[in-house]
Chain A
């Protein structure tokens, strides 16, 4: 027999279908039809058999009918004239005494997607709505939608819509849900089906009769209903309560979403619902099906954005196992980082340490980045682990560790000394450009503490011709100029060579322009260069701020239990090399001019304290010296101010204070009590340190220390701070 789909096969099938002997034998007839369907599934064009297949539909054999209907629905669009021939058989079947035959015929008649079919199906569909068999009614209800969608320009029949609303009270639960679905689609232009109070309560009361699919869909429809008052709201929540812990993850997730949505004005109820829905979500995360597990993890991650502590007790559930695919393990590592607290940090780090030697390089790197993120809180433990990893001398590991070091040093300046020791000699094991960039940045920013820094840079400069990445070259330029400022004697010669090469021979415009810029800058003299290049080399406050910005639940409820959660975040974190590490250090190091500009001239504050008063942040103060000063100095002023409100996010406060040239060095979490913050600023040679303490609302205790004493600056500082806090308070309310 010839292979699939040649002319021969078609002819043979055609002969067989019209052979009266075959037609007489039910099994043989059915087998021929089966062959046609099989070939159709494989993607072959079987439409030329349409005539014969239509004849085959006039059989008493239900199995054969079903097969032929499947065929007809596929090809009706291609052969509309022939399909009309089948209508008669179908309409006859719609009046069959057997409800299954009626339903089948009606369903398939509505599925024939071809122009002009509506006039034939209208009458059977309307009759089907009043059929005594629920099976037929289910089909007819959806048939109304199909009819509507076949002629979108036609006006919606008001009587049908009313009938469908009436059928929400149908005794069959599937008919009820189908009515919701049909109305939703038909009334799309008017915003979908209307859920008023009687309908909402009717649906809630019948929720128990539905199967899990219908339940989760009905719960989604109920999102549209707003209870009138508190009492009604809590009645509804009570009804839904049992479903929160449903063994079907779809129902549990849909209920949770509805709960969060309804209780959006009651954060305590939301928190309670989140903790009660933990069981089903954890079960989904541990599911045998990888796909379900992935969906569960995405939702857990979403919840953690608002309630970081939620799953901390269950952190072991998020340990990876070697048999899991990479996308699940990456997700689990992200979650583990969020769950770290004082009690479990040792075990989590030990676990992550084990993943660092994974066979898959991207997983190993993701684990290292995860350790780095934990390192912002627990820097000492993490530094130890990361330093040990360098001993493995594996390229992908060394590269990731160095990138992590760079981010850590930027956020936790106290790590700088140990990092500088650890990175000595690791340039031999770095081949990829991200790793090189990180290493070069570290050498540039902290080269004064690394004895061999100039020699390493020199190696890179000498091999510049073979370097392909222009980002590495840009980084190298910046680092060499920076290091030149601290160690001029050793660097001068190689800087000259580097600039010469980049200006004369480099083909990449960006690199060339950057080299020219530095060249001209150096012409202006060393002091000028130092002023511009000498931006801060760390920003500790950033770490505290980026640590836990607790997002309000209402921000993500709209996306909960939708596909969106799975793919948007999926792409973001599936690429560890881009999402795993913080690129902010890189971006700031990449454009030193921006840093120079902000540090250049201090913004004059807009208070009316006199023309000579201004605050500035230059030069920056490290947390260590802040602490030294704070312990040494006496209190020069205490007072109370108005607390801007606990829902004011730390980054808002930070940004607002920075606008008036006050730097916040450390914060406690926004919801903790007592809440503390440490600030500093400078004014005409005097250093001002302040502590904000919030232990009892609404007042904020302010303690200010100052060196050397300057009453005028002190008063100015307090006024500025007060104005800023008041402005924030207004914004918050």
Chain B
């Protein structure tokens, strides 16, 4: 049971405060903020205890979501409550985005939600479907959805709609917008999102590869009885079902939302789900070690010492994606020795940049767009006074972050998306694929 729930901004402003049981003092908020800011480093532990009260908090979007409790409850329940299932996801569902601004603008709505979700600190319900019947207030969207947004860049492709493209902001709006634009609401988004963790050893051998993926459905349809999502026919789970031929898509482990019906999954790889309004994760899967294709990036580094106090780092970076796709917002971080003073660089095109960041002793090489099959190179000369052989060891490991739109590393595809019964009026469904780098490390 939860005693209090509050939301603080990073500066400690109270955005939301609700006391459910009246057991704790009201200064608990300040107590929490003092404790959080007192901790060394900016990564405090998740659970803190003070005067018999446990504070459990989650940080997202620069905000602290805190629950306090006096009982020794399940940490998973509270963290999930604060996290995925309820607060942050629901706030995203109702208010569009999760930011200090949207929480401030919709504070009354959030109070209303909290009131319906928790009674006396006990979780009553968290399903958007049920809550929707009780929530009376309308969300104030910080950025109204307009046609103007359609022209914004950063578009994802949609496989099922040949030429139309969904704006990347289209899915970040409240599920219950004002009555005006009823027409444009009949949309459903199915996102396949994968997070990639890779470690490549200094000899170029793939040491670790790990993909965490999920299929997320974001539904704006007012009512929808059943949706059928067809996955690749060669989709298999577990190591035993190895097949010798074809482009089989394999994952190690897979779990489904409890509302998903799997009676056609075994034979036809079809997920049947009745999506409720808002966002939900229909399927989660993971794959370890056996990547079906080569990792997206390969790095060939050479680190040398100049005759003087200069360190020469020559990097050749190859993108092993198919030529049609491209990686966006690629950022390469190369740690350099402690005393590094200045940097001069030779990059292969003007839209790239490389900067020395003295605070974290690293060079940041930014590539806005990196087409598949291409190879880029950079020559970085770093001035290090008192360079010794030992400081060469301080160079590396290189870490990269990037985004691969229209690409899944497991090869998982959605064959079709069917709604039944067919929706009256125009409705659109979008399928989007994206792979994010969770952690991509290349040892030197």
Contacts and interface: CB of A to CB of B under 8 A. Distances in A.
Interface of A: 34, 37-38, 41-43, 62-63, 66-67, 70, 74, 100, 107, 113, 138-139, 142, 145-146, 174, 177-178, 181, 211-214, 216-217, 220, 245-250, 253-254, 279-280, 282-284, 286, 288-292, 294-295, 298, 314, 316-317, 319, 321-327, 347, 350-351, 354, 357, 359, 391-393, 561-567, 570, 574
23 contacts: A41-B14, A63-B112, A67-B111, A70-B18, A100-B134, A174-B124, A211-B125, A213-B126, A217-B77, A220-B74, A247-B257, A247-B258, A250-B74, A286-B212, A288-B195, A291-B46, A316-B210, A317-B288, A321-B439, A350-B207, A561-B74, A561-B76, A564-B72
B294 interface: no
Contact of B438 (A139, A211, A291, A323): A323
Contacts of B421: none
Given A174-B125, A250-B77, A391-B390, A562 B14 contact: no
B15 A316 contact: no
B393 interface: yes
A295 B54 contact: no
Given A212-B85, A565-B75, 7 more contacts: A42-B14, A250-B80, A286-B286, A317-B210, A351-B207, A359-B360, A359-B361
Most buried by A among B73, B122, B284: B122
A282 B212 CA distance: 11
Contact of A316 (B46, B56, B72, B288): B288
Contacts of A567: 45, 47-49, 54
Interface in B285-341: 286, 288-289, 333, 335
Contacts of B397: 322, 354
A298 B333 CA distance: 30
A357 B393 contact: yes
B107 to A, nearest CB: 6
Given A174-B125, A321-B439, A391-B390, A280 B74 contact: no
Contacts of B195: 288
Interface in B271-293: 284, 286, 288-289
A211 B441 CA distance: 40
B425 interface: no
B107 A37 contact: yes
Given A317-B210, A563-B72, A279 B253 contact: yes
Contacts of A62: 136
Contacts of A354: 397, 443
Given A212-B258, A292-B83, A323 B439 contact: yes
A495 B108 CA distance: 75
B79 A291 contact: yes
A41 B255 contact: no
The number of chain B residues touching the other chain, given as a range, is 35 or more
A392 B112 CA distance: 58
Contacts of B394: 357, 392
B366 interface: no
B143 interface: no
Contacts of A561: 74-76
B275 to A, nearest CB: 16
Nearest to B112: A66
Q: In the complex, which of the residues A113, A211, A291, A359 has the most CB atoms of chain B within 10 Å of its own CB atom?
A: A291
A63 B76 contact: no
A211 B439 contact: no
Contacts of A43: 14, 17
B107 A113 contact: no
Contacts of B18: 70
Interface string B4-23: 00000000011111110010
A347 B393 contact: no
A327 B43 CA distance: 7
Contact of A283 (B48, B255, B333, B393): B255
Contacts of A138: 119, 124
B428 interface: no
Nearest to B443: A354
A216 B390 contact: no
Contact of A563 (B1, B73, B108): B73
A181 B43 contact: no
A316 B136 contact: no
Nearest to B80: A250
B255 A247 contact: yes
A289 B84 contact: yes
Contacts of B199: 319, 351
Contacts of A254: 74, 76
Contacts of B228: none
B108 A392 contact: no
B235 interface: no
B74 A107 contact: no
B41 interface: yes
A142 B111 CA distance: 19
B417 to A, nearest CB: 22
A279 B45 contact: no
A107 B122 CA distance: 13
Interface in B113-145: 115, 119-120, 122-127, 134, 136-137
Contacts of A100: 134
B343 interface: no
B393 A63 contact: no
A347 B19 CA distance: 50
B265 interface: no
Contacts of A322: 333, 397, 399, 439, 441
B156 interface: no
B126 A211 contact: yes
Nearest to B440: A321
A227 to B, nearest CB: 23
A113 B3 CA distance: 14
A574 B401 CA distance: 28
B399 A213 contact: no
B51 to A, nearest CB: 14
Contacts of A107: 115, 119
Contacts of B289: 316
Contact of A321 (B43, B69, B388, B438): B438
B221 interface: no
B253 A283 contact: yes
Nearest to B73: A563
With a 10 A CB-CB cut-off, give which of B108, B197, B393 has the most chain A CB atoms: B108
Contacts of B112: 63, 66
